[in-house]
């Protein structure tokens, strides 16, 4: 039976019949709740477009945030869970998803760079791209962030989308991250003078040209993918997941394949860079923490050079609505709607363990974000896409920090 | 091709070139309107250049065909704290395809702050009457929903030769001190906010470049720069209103004026109005408060009474 009509387009009914699927029947309560949240997002998008200042930027931030939250939830794109899948089960699928996101990002950024800065060999860097200083502090940031992921169970972007799933740890992790930000600002001046002020800002296209940097990046990603496919074990779930599904179920109910999630994550990253600023999820959290600490008079009068670096800026903003704030709001709300529809919104009452792991892990995430100028999204994804060496170094610190903390924590029976 | 169609085509070309010529001529003043600019986007003798404060704003959408200047690297010497030297400026102008026979239209964000600063630097290097500001800048262009583009259009390089810098347009510390000591009859116009002028604050929140003292240069008068601008669309107010605004502060063009602010960039906006729109003799003091306010032993006025020192 063909599932295409005469023009070759997918014909929904035959596809559904072939999948042998029952017609989709969402429980009315779940469906209604998801529809209400979706409508609220739509109304917010409309209102921000009418009353925002500057309306286009704020509106697009909200839209891209919602798209990002939907994709993260549907693909369960959690950097730590993906790494744990590999460590524990040699399941390469999630990591292949991350590699996909990086490859799409790298290609997209290169395309944009060609128009914005045709010659990369001069003294300039492409505007606003997350290209940070490479040195000891960045490595420490990666290690701390990795440890924070292992302890709290997610990175910051995943805590945000898991907030929408009702995770009991995520609220504490985000509060902990706020505290970690403040600890980061408190230790900033020392580390800045010790190492960051002399760390070079390395941008690969300057040395290799756009073609060379793209090729080198894709070769590294391709080699990693090849190795993962060779060394990984096929998952038992894979065959079940490959069974044809009702198209609606495939989008809204079933977990997306990681590569598809990665593809969209990369694409949203490129869209955000083209129209707004590089993708990042910590600017709002960082600047609000800084605002709070400034009001409480906890911070030194000056944070040397902090605001002169690129990345998820923590500059204090006066306005109530900021692009990154709306991005985060859209992310959490869309993840909530997606989780409701898929039956993955399962709020649990947090216990002491959730709170402790959230706060401690979150603090490490926050501290790492200050010195990494971003997190898995702002530095790893947006940095590697941008051709920044800082993205790769942060990734390296992250892998080591997560693995060591997880193994040590399990040996001490503190982590599962 | 028939004789008639040849004549018709010839007439059309003639009419088009007349229209272009008259359009360019019609803009003999220092400002061009958004409407005029949109009509003349494809005129090869019009070169549009964006000078914005916010990085990345040009790349994400600019007036079609516009070139870009990054003010904090292209127009300054970053280490010696100076405007771009003659060679650097010449190279920039050539790269942008700017020359004396080209109508240069500068525009930018923040009501043309840095576009005006660009016009001041252009003027110092001999590009004056052919350099105009787009009245209203990015703000008005966007408000009127005019087209923007993201694709870069390479400019055909010019063979512009830089002249001797016109020192009359730039005030140095000695010129300012001379007015304080009353050996010069120039008037100082401080365009910072009233709170900066009175010494309540050293600088607006968030600015890194500061002076040790707060207050203003003795004898200077205060007209905040934004008062010359229609807040609704960023356009510069009509000439009569501007004359009245500055005359109320004692600036009427009868004496040379020195404009000043914190680092000399906002003040170039007022410099542009005084020098180019009103035709007053004006110089911009780019050392401004971060230079004057820091100099040991120079007198200041500080009505707010905030004196440098411990608690």
Question: A128 to chain B, minimum CA–CA distance in Å?
Answer: 6
* H or E segment and range at residue A136: helix A136-152
Q: Do the Cβ atoms of B151 and A274 come within 8 Å?
A: no
Contact criterion met (CB below 8 Å) for B293 and B213:
yes
Cα–Cα distance between A286 and A401 in angstroms, integer?
22
Residue A394 and residue A380 in contact, taking contact as beta carbons nearer than 8 Å: yes
The conformation of residue B174, written as its DSSP 8-state character, comes to H
How far is the alpha carbon of B59 from chain A, nearest alpha carbon, in Å?
A: 6
Write down the mean pLDDT value for chain A.
Answer: 91
Are residues B55 and A123, on separate chains, in Cβ contact within 8 Å?
no
For residues A393 and A146, the answer to whether their CB atoms sit within 8 Å is no
Q: Considering CB atoms only, which of A115, A123, A316 is closest to B150?
A: A115
Q: Do A127 and B151 touch (CB under 8 A)?
A: no
Burial A190-229 (b: 16+ CB within 10 A, else e): ebbeebbeebeebbbbbebebeebbebbbebbeebbeebe
Contact A273, A382 (CB under 8 A): yes
Reduced to 3 states (helix: H, G, I; strand: E, B; else coil), residue B34 is: helix
> Which residues of chain B does A274 touch, with a Cβ-Cβ cutoff of 8 Å?
60
Residue A295: its chain B contacts at CB < 8 A? none
The distance of A194 to chain B (nearest Cα, Å) reads 22
d(CA A260, nearest CA chain B) in Å = 28
Mean pLDDT in residue range A50-72: 94
B13 or A24, which is more confident:
A24
Residue of A nearest to B152 (CA): A115
**Hey, is the C-beta of B60 within 8 angstroms of any chain A C-beta?**
yes
Q: How many domains does chain A have?
A: 1
Instruction: State yes or no: pLDDT of B153 exceeds 60.
Output: yes
The answer to whether B78 contacts chain A (CB < 8 Å) is no
Q: How many helices (H) and strands (E) does chain B have?
A: 11, 11
Residue tagged 């198209």 (tokens):
A247
Q: Do A116 and B59 touch (CB under 8 A)?
A: yes
pLDDT number for residue B308: 62
Higher per-residue pLDDT: B133 or B2: B133
The chain B residue lying nearest A124, using CA atoms, is: B73
Domain presence at residue A309: yes
Q: CA-to-CA distance for B77 and B209, rounded, in angstroms? A: 16
B28 confidence band (pLDDT: 50, 70, 90): confident
What is chain A's length?
416
HSE, side-chain direction, 13 A CA sphere, residue A130: 34
B17 contacts chain A (CB < 8 A): no
pLDDT bucket at A248, cuts 50 / 70 / 90: confident
Contacts of A240 (CB under 8 A, 6+ apart): none
B-chain residues near A123 (CB < 8 A): 73
Q: Is the pLDDT of residue A361 over 50?
A: yes
Q: How far apart are CA B122 and CA B92, in angstroms?
A: 11
Band of the pLDDT at B20, cuts 50, 70, 90? very low
CA distance A416 to chain B (A): 45
Nearest one of A170, A374, A171 to A287, comparing CA atoms: A374
Cα B225 versus chain centre, distance: 12
Best of B50, B54, B59 to disrupt the A interface (most A CBs within 10 Å) is: B59
Least confident stretch, A393-407, B23-37, B118-132, B290-304: B23-37
- How confident is the model at residue A15, as a pLDDT? 62
pLDDT of A237 strictly over 70: no
| Chain B residue with the nearest C-alpha to that of A271 | B60
How far, in Å, CA of B70 to CA of B59, rounded?
Answer: 11
Which residue from B55, B151, B206 is facing A128, i.e. has the nearest CB? Answer: B55
Residue B231 touches chain A, beta carbons under 8 Å: no
Find out whether B46 and B98 touch, Cβ atoms under 8 Å.
no
Question: Within 10 Å of residue B59's Cβ, how many Cβ atoms?
Answer: 20
CB distance A116–B152 less than 8 Å?
yes
Phi, psi of B2 (to 5 degrees): -75, 160
Sequence-separated (6 or more) residues with CB below 8 Å from residue B221: B187, B188, B189, B190, B249, B250, B251
Please list the alpha-helical segments (H only) found in A296-388. 323-342, 352-372, 382-385
Residue B21 has pLDDT above 50, yes or no: no
Give catalytic residues of B, as residue numbers: 261
Place of tokens 């408060």: B289
Residue A244: band (very low, low, confident or very high) from pLDDT cuts 50, 70, 90: low
User: Any idea where the domains of chain B sit in the sequence?
Assistant: 24-165, 170-292
Residues of A in contact with B150 (CB under 8 A): 115
CATH H-level superfamily of B170-292: Rhodanese-like domain (3.40.250.10)
Out of A118, A123, A315, the one facing B152 most closely (by C-beta) is: A118
- Chain A residues whose C-beta is within 8 A of a chain B C-beta are 115-116, 118, 123-124, 127-128, 274-277, 307, 315-316
Taking an 8 Å cut-off on Cβ atoms, the answer to whether A115 and B152 are in contact is yes
| Residues of B in Cβ contact (< 8 Å) with A124 | 70, 73
Distance from CA of B91 to the nearest CA of A (A): 14
3-state secondary structure of B69: strand
Q: How far is B61 from chain A (nearest CA, A)?
A: 9
- Tell me, yes or no, whether A402 lies in a domain: yes
Chain-chain contact of A127 with B59 (C-beta, under 8 angstroms): yes
> Nearest CB to A115: which of B70, B151, B206?
B151
Mean pLDDT, residues B94-103 taken together = 94
CB atoms within 10 A of CB B25: 9
> Is B210 in CB contact (< 8 Å) with chain A?
no
A332 or A244, which is more confident?
Answer: A332
Confidence of residue B23 (pLDDT cuts 50, 70, 90): very low
Q: Is A74 part of a structural domain of the chain?
A: yes
DSSP for residue A214: H
What ipTM was assigned to the predicted interfaces of this complex?
0.78
Triad A140, A145, A150: Cα angle to 5°: 130
Contact list, A127 vs chain B (CB under 8 Å): 55-56, 58-59
Whether the pLDDT of residue B302 is over 80: the answer is yes
Name the token pair of B47.
């070169």
Residue A10 burial (10 A CB sphere; 0-12, 13-18, 19+): exposed
What is the chain A residue with the closest CA to B67?
A116
Instruction: Give the range among A282-286, B3-7, B188-192 with minimum mean pLDDT.
Output: B3-7
Within chain B, residue ranges assigned H as helices are: 3-26, 34-39, 71-74, 86-96, 109-124, 137-143, 173-180, 194-198, 239-247, 266-272, 288-292
Give the DSSP H/E element, type plus range, for residue B258: strand B257-260
Domains B24-165 and B170-292 share a fold: yes
3-state secondary structure of B259: strand
**Would you say residue B259 has pLDDT above 80?**
yes
In a domain, A1, yes or no: no
Asked whether the beta carbons of residue A127 and residue B56 sit closer than 8 angstroms, the reply is yes
Ramachandran region, residue B184 (left: φ > 0; alpha: ψ -120 to 50; beta: rest) = beta
**pLDDT tens for each residue of A183-225:** 999 999 999 999 999 999 999 999 999 999 999 999 999 999 9
Q: What is the mean pLDDT of residues B133-152?
A: 93
**Is residue B5's pLDDT more than 70?**
no
pLDDT number for residue A28: 81
Going edge to edge, which strands form the sheet with B131-134?
A: B31-32, B131-134, B103-107, B46-51, B67-69
pLDDT in tens, A116-175: 998 999 888 999 999 999 999 999 999 999 999 999 999 999 999 999 999 999 999 999
DSSP-based three-state secondary structure for B8? helix
* pLDDT at B26 (0 to 100): 47
Exposure string (b/e) for A307-344, b if CB count within 10 Å is 16 or more?
Answer: eebbbbbbebbeeeebbbbbbbbbbbbbbbbbbbbbeb
B interface test, pick of A55, A127, A307 with most B CB neighbours within 10 Å: A127
Give the pLDDT band (50/70/90) at residue B141. Answer: very high
Q: Does B53 touch chain A (CB under 8 A)?
A: no
Nearest to B86 by CA among B159, B165, B160, B157: B165
Distance between CA atoms of B28 and A16, rounded to whole angstroms?
70
Geometric angle at alpha carbon A394, from A158 and A308, rounded to 5°: 100
Is B28 near chain A, with CB under 8 Å? no
Query: Between chain A and chain B, how many beta carbons pairs sit less than 8 Å apart?
Result: 23
Rounded distance between C-alpha atoms, residue A100 and residue A268, angstroms: 13
Instruction: State yes or no: pLDDT of B276 exceeds 90.
Output: yes
Question: Please, are residues A326 and A54 in contact by the beta-carbon 8 Å criterion?
Answer: no
Residue A175 lies in a domain: yes
Identity of the residue in A123, A275, A315 whose CB atom sits nearest the CB atom of B60: A275
Its domain, for residue A261, covers 27-236+247-411
Q: What angle do CA B194, B198, B204 make, to 5 degrees?
A: 60
Burial class (CB in 10 A: 0-12, 13-18, 19+), B20: middle
Considering only the beta carbons, identify the residue of B56, B206, B208 that sits closest to A128: B56
Of all residues in chain B, the percent with pLDDT exceeding 70 is: 90
* Cβ contacts of A116 on chain B, cutoff 8 Å: 59, 152
Q: Which residues pair with B133 in a beta bridge?
A: B31, B106
Which is higher by pLDDT, B154 or A172?
Answer: A172
- What superfamily would CATH give domain B24-165? Rhodanese-like domain (3.40.250.10)
């Amino acid at each position: 039976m063909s599932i295409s009509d005469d023009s070759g387009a997918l014909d929904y009914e035959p596809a559904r019949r072939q999948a042998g699927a029952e017609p989709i029947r969402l429980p009315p309560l779940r469906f209604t709740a998801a529809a209400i949240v979706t409508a609220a997002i739509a109304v917010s998008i409309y209102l921000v477009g009418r009353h925002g200042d500057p309306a286009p930027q704020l509106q697009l931030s909200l839209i891209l945030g919602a798209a990002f939250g939907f994709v993260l939830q549907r693909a369960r794109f959690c950097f730590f869970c993906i790494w744990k899948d590999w460590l524990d089960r040699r399941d390469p699928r999630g990591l292949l998803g991350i590699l996909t996101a990086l490859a799409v990002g790298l290609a997209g950024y290169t395309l944009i760079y060609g128009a914005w800065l045709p010659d990369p060999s001069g003294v300039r860097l492409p505007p606003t791209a997350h290209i940070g200083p490479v040195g000891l502090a960045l490595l420490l940031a990666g290690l701390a962030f990795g440890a924070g992921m292992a302890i709290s169970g997610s990175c910051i972007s995943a805590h945000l989308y898991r907030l929408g799933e009702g995770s009991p740890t995520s609220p504490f992790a985000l509060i902990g991250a706020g505290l970690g930000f403040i600890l980061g600002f408190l230790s900033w001046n020392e580390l800045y003078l010790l190492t960051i002020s002399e760390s070079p800002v390395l941008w690969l296209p300057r040395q290799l040209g756009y073609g060379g940097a793209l090729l080198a990046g894709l070769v590294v990603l391709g080699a990693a993918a090849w190795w993962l496919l060779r060394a990984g074990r096929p998952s038992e779930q894979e065959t079940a997941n490959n069974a044809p599904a009702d198209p609606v179920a495939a989008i809204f109910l079933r977990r997306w394949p990681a590569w598809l999630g990665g593809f969209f994550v990369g694409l949203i990253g490129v869209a955000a860079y083209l129209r707004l600023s590089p993708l990042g999820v910590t600017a709002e959290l960082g600047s609000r923490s800084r605002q709070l600490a400034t009001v409480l008079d906890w911070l030194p009068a000056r944070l040397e050079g902090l605001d002169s670096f690129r990345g998820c800026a923590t500059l204090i903003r006066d306005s109530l609505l900021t692009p990154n704030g709306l991005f985060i709001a859209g992310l959490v709300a869309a993840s909530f709607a997606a989780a409701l529809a898929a039956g993955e919104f399962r709020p649990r009452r947090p216990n002491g363990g959730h709170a402790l792991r959230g706060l401690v892990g979150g603090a490490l995430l926050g501290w790492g974000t200050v010195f990494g100028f971003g997190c898995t999204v702002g530095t790893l994804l947006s940095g590697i896409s941008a051709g920044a060496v800082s993205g790769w170094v942060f990734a390296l610190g992250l892998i080591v920090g997560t693995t060591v903390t997880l193994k040590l924590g399990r040996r001490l029976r503190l982590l599962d | 091709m028939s004789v008639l169609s040849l004549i018709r085509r010839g007439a059309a070309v003639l009419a088009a070139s007349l229209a272009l010529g008259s359009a360019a001529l019609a803009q003999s003043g220092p400002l061009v309107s958004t409407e005029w600019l949109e009509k003349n986007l494809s005129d090869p003798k019009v070169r549009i250049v964006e000078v914005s404060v916010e990085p990345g704003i040009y790349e994400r959408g600019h007036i079609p065909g516009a070139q870009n200047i990054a003010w904090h690297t292209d127009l300054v010497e970053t280490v010696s704290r100076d405007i771009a030297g003659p060679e650097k400026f010449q190279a920039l102008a050539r790269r942008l395809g700017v020359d004396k026979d080209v109508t240069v239209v500068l525009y930018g964000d923040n009501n043309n702050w840095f576009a005006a600063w660009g016009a001041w630097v252009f003027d110092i290097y001999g590009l004056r009457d052919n350099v105009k500001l787009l009245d209203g800048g990015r703000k008005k262009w966007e408000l009127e929903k005019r087209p923007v583009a993201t694709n870069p259009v390479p400019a055909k390089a010019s063979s512009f030769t830089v002249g001797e810098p016109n020192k009359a347009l730039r005030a140095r510390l000695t010129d300012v001190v001379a007015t304080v000591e009353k050996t010069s009859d120039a008037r100082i116009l401080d365009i910072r906010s009233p709170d900066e002028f009175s010494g309540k604050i050293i600088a607006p929140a968030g600015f890194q470049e500061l002076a040790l003292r707060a207050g203003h240069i003795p004898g200077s008068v205060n007209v905040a720069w934004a008062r010359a601008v229609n807040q609704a669309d960023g356009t510069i107010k009509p000439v009569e209103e501007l004359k009245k605004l500055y005359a109320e502060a004692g600036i009427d063009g009868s004496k040379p004026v020195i404009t000043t602010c914190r680092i000399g960039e906002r003040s170039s906006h007022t410099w542009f109005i005084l020098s180019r729109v009103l035709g007053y003799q004006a110089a911009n003091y780019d050392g401004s408060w971060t230079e004057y306010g820091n100099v040991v032993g120079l007198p200041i006025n500080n009505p707010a009474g905030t004196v440098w020192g411990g608690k």
